[in-house]
């Protein structure tokens, strides 16, 4: 989600959107955009240099300032802090009842090397940050950050000099220097997407390889961990739906593709997803993998794993689905695994260009909006259900691309019907584009903010929060399904839904997410600048906004008591105008009220880091 470039790569921008009338207060309640508009793409000219006086003369709310701020948000950080440092509070203080534990935040840290190449934010090497609350010391918070020393990171960074030379293209990038044409070094495991603390072990995960274990105290990299890739023991079930077999031809193709995938992509046979779930009721860690060859075949093989606290595999279930799907996040309930299917297809011309090295490898895939619906797969978690063919999806009559899941739960009504509800962030197929995520332009290596700030008058295309409802009768047949906005009072882009983790898999009331106040004329939708708290029962909304030229990352909830919103919300604030980062502690109950900001802790300017992806709170 981040990339960095020198300021002289700013550009001339020609934008004239109509004015956006929004509240100017940094603390808002239930408001929505009073008008919609279409953002004209930013026009970049890398050859244009801006002097220091030119930059200083730019108004804070101008196209040039917006472009510059967007680049600064994705600026690389090469420094590490092996020894923890105490963060200085610039507002309030860490409360005495704040839980003892550590907030770990994963994300990329480096985007440009010392030889002229840049990479997509998703291809940046993993940079793990830790905010350690030890109790005592007057409520001090200790900060440390280190790169995850993956095999690719050790190859691309010279340990003696600290200089970088990118040799792997990465699936979303094209190198500007070094070997470009015919470069088959693509799938480098950058361990940059999420971080997991489970069973006294800490791991950084990526979407296409094994997790890397990291020491939870020193942040030193221990090494890769094979959790799922080599047919481990334990109870195992392979479930195939009626007609779910891919056919002899596909099986033969898969057989021949395996060595290609392993050799060209350097991918394990089973591709572990970066999103995991924790079933607090059963004290289990749930993980999901896909078969590597399924990326290129008209079928999808999903394997679910359930581990106890000692990483003993308690259950393994495999499902083969006759559809070409891409899953990033997923959900579980007491008795089901749930997938919101994103349909994709193989792009033959793109594949040829991708293999040549002239286009990113992700060009081999494209979204497939062939059906005007969203497929939902409700898969049996423990036993085979009678009377329902789970391989046939429940088609929700609304075509949306699923991004992240906040929570899912199931309940039986008085008639014995099973009702499943799921809260998630989704976007439009018309907007989602593998090659343009975060506005990355692989031709120039720059980021175009306009892609993330498109507003369509007819359709809400950008990420937003929805609630999906599915009803199954006693025999398991679907008797109703729907998808609707999570709140009719919040019509703004939002993503990274989070809840109190104690309510995962159970009925919950509150959802916290990153969102936008819309007050920035030329960055009205993204990057996010607000934390929004939605009440799923009455639709009410409250929010806190960071302020002008200040953005935020993913919020996470830290429980304090037994009630659902009794706790704190942690979020990193990126003040690009100051080139500073702060860890903000919000009182979850007081969001949208006076006193919502409990504390604001300053990361030293020399250690300011780029925006992160996903974090994890580990109690001690």
Query: Binding site annotation covers 230?
Result: no
**The pair of three-digit structure tokens given for residue 14, joined into one six-digit string:** 């020609």
- Location of structure tokens 């359930």: 306
In this predicted structure, the answer to whether residue 249 has a pLDDT above a threshold of 90 is no
In 3D, which of 545, 546, 535 has the Cα closest to residue 499? 535
In this predicted structure, the answer to whether residue 99 has a pLDDT above a threshold of 80 is yes
Residue 446's pLDDT is 85
Inside any domain, residue 169: yes
Which of the four pLDDT bands, split at 50, 70 and 90, describes residue 255?
low
Q: Going edge to edge, which strands form the sheet with 464-472?
A: 401-412, 418-427, 464-472, 478-485
Average pLDDT over residues 124-147: 92
Measured in degrees and rounded to the nearest 5, phi and psi for residue 53 equal -65, -35
Inside any domain, residue 167: yes
Length of the chain: 620
CB count in 10 Å sphere of residue 620: 12
Inside any domain, residue 469: yes
When mean pLDDT is compared across 474-488, 570-584, 595-609, the lowest value belongs to: 474-488
Inside any domain, residue 388: yes
Instruction: Give the sign of the dihedral formed by CA 327, CA 285, CA 563, CA 135.
Output: negative
Contact in structure between 556 and 103 (CB atoms under 8 Å): yes
The model's pLDDT over 288-326, given as tens digits with 9 standing for 90+, comes to 999 887 877 888 999 999 999 999 999 999 999 999 999
In this predicted structure, the answer to whether residue 23 has a pLDDT above a threshold of 70 is no
What does DSSP say about strands 236-240 and 313-321: parallel, antiparallel, or unpaired? Answer: parallel
Query: Binding site annotation covers 614?
Result: yes
Instruction: Give the sign of the dihedral formed by CA 458, CA 514, CA 212, CA 609.
Output: positive
Inside any domain, residue 2: no
The widest CA-to-CA distance across the chain, in whole angstroms, is 72
In this predicted structure, the answer to whether residue 14 has a pLDDT above a threshold of 90 is no
Beta bridge partners of 286: 277, 306
Q: Is 515 exposed, middle or buried (0-12, 13-18, 19+ CB in 10 A)?
A: buried
Q: How many domains does the chain have?
A: 1
**Residue 160 belongs to what H/E stretch?**
none
In this predicted structure, the answer to whether residue 286 has a pLDDT above a threshold of 90 is yes
Inside any domain, residue 1: no
**The pair of three-digit structure tokens given for residue 607, joined into one six-digit string:** 């250690």
This prediction has a pTM of 0.88
Contact in structure between 346 and 325 (CB atoms under 8 Å): no
**The pair of three-digit structure tokens given for residue 522, joined into one six-digit string:** 């030329």
Average pLDDT over residues 435-440: 92
Could you tell me how far CA 113 lies from the centroid of its own chain?
Answer: 24
Average pLDDT over residues 389-399: 90
Which of the four pLDDT bands, split at 50, 70 and 90, describes residue 476?
confident
Contact in structure between 144 and 85 (CB atoms under 8 Å): yes
Pick the more confident residue, 495 or 455: 495
- Location of structure tokens 């604001």: 600
Question: To the nearest whole number, what is the mean pLDDT of the chain?
Answer: 84
Contact in structure between 532 and 569 (CB atoms under 8 Å): no
- Gap between the Cα atoms of 384 and 388, Å rounded: 9
End-to-end CA distance of the chain: 29
Long-range contacts of 581-586 (CB under 8 A, 24+ apart): 581/607, 581/608, 581/609, 582/90, 583/87, 583/103, 583/131, 583/141, 583/143, 584/546, 584/552, 585/92, 585/94, 585/95, 585/98, 586/531, 586/544, 586/555
Query: Binding site annotation covers 14?
Result: no
Residue 248's pLDDT is 52
Average pLDDT over residues 112-124: 92
Query: With left for phi above 0 and alpha for psi between -120 and 50, is residue 381 left, alpha or beta?
Result: alpha
C-alpha distance from residue 369 to each of 374, 436, 442 (Å): 10, 17, 24
The secondary structure of residue 40, as a DSSP letter, is P
CB count in 10 Å sphere of residue 136: 7
Pick the more confident residue, 176 or 202: 202
Range of the domain at 87: 7-619
Q: Is 435 exposed, middle or buried (0-12, 13-18, 19+ CB in 10 A)?
A: middle
Which of the four pLDDT bands, split at 50, 70 and 90, describes residue 394?
very high
The model's pLDDT over 58-78, given as tens digits with 9 standing for 90+, comes to 467 788 899 999 999 999 999
- Gap between the Cα atoms of 265 and 279, Å rounded: 33
Measured in degrees and rounded to the nearest 5, phi and psi for residue 352 equal -65, -40
């Amino acid at each position: 989600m981040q990339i960095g470039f020198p300021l002289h790569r700013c550009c001339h921008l020609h934008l004239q959107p109509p004015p956006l009338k929004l509240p100017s207060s940094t603390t808002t309640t239930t408001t929505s955009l009073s008008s919609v508009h279409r953002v004209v793409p930013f026009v970049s000219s890398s050859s244009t240099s801006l002097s220091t006086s030119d930059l200083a003369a730019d108004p804070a709310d101008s196209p040039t300032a917006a472009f510059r701020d967007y680049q600064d948000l994705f600026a690389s950080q090469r420094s590490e802090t092996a020894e923890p440092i105490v963060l200085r509070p610039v507002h309030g203080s860490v409360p005495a009842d704040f839980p003892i534990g550590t907030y770990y935040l994963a994300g990329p840290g480096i985007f440009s090397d010392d030889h002229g190449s840049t990479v997509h934010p998703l291809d940046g090497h993993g940079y793990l940050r830790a905010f350690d609350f030890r109790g005592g010391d007057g409520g001090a918070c200790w900060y440390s950050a280190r790169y995850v020393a993956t095999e690719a990171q050790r190859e691309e960074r010279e340990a003696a000099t600290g200089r970088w030379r990118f040799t792997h293209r990465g699936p979303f990038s094209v190198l500007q220097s070094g070997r470009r044409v015919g470069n088959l070094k693509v799938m480098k495991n950058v361990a940059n997407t999420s971080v997991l603390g489970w069973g006294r072990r800490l791991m950084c995960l990526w979407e296409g390889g094994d997790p890397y274990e990291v020491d939870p105290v020193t942040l030193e990299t221990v090494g890769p961990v094979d959790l799922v890739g080599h047919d481990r023991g334990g109870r195992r079930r392979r479930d195939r739906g009626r007609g779910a077999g891919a056919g002899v031809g596909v099986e033969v193709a898969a057989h021949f593709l395996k060595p290609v995938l392993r050799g060209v992509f350097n991918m394990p046979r089973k591709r572990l997803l970066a999103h995991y779930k924790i079933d607090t009721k059963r004290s289990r860690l749930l993980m999901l993998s896909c078969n590597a060859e399924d990326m290129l075949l008209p079928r999808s093989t999903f394997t679910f794993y359930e581990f106890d606290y000692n990483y003993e595999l308690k259950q393994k279930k495999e499902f083969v689905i006759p559809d070409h799907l891409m899953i990033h996040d997923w959900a579980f309930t007491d008795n089901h695994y749930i997938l919101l299917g994103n349909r994709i297809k193989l792009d033959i011309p793109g594949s040829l260009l991708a293999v040549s090295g002239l286009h990113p490898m992700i060009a081999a895939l494209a979204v497939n909006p062939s059906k005007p619906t969203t497929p939902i797969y409700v898969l049996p978690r423990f036993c085979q259900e009678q009377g329902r063919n789970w391989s046939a999806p429940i088609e929700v009559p609304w075509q949306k691309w699923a991004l992240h899941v906040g929570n899912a739960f199931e309940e039986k009504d008085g008639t014995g019907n099973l009702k499943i509800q799921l809260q998630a962030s989704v976007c439009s197929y018309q907007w989602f584009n593998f090659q343009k995520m975060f506005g990355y332009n692989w031709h120039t290596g720059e980021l175009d903010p306009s892609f993330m700030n498109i507003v369509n008058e007819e359709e809400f295309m950008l990420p937003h929060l929805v609630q999906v409802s599915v009803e199954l009768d006693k025999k398991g047949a679907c008797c109703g399904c729907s998808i609707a906005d999570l709140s009719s009072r919040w019509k703004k882009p939002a993503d990274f839904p989070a809840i109190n983790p104690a309510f995962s898999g159970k009925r919950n009331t509150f959802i916290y997410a990153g969102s936008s106040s819309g007050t920035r004329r030329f960055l009205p939708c993204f990057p996010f600048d607000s934390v929004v708290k939605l009440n799923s029962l009455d639709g009410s909304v409250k929010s806190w906004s960071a302020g002008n030229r200040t953005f935020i990352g993913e919020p996470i909830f830290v429980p304090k008591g037994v009630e659902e919103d009794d706790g704190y919300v942690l979020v990193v604030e990126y003040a690009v105008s100051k080139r500073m980062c702060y860890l903000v502690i919000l009182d979850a109950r007081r969001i949208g009220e006076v006193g919502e900001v409990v504390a604001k802790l300053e990361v030293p300017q020399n250690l300011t880091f780029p925006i992160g992806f996903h974090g994890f709170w580990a109690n001690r």
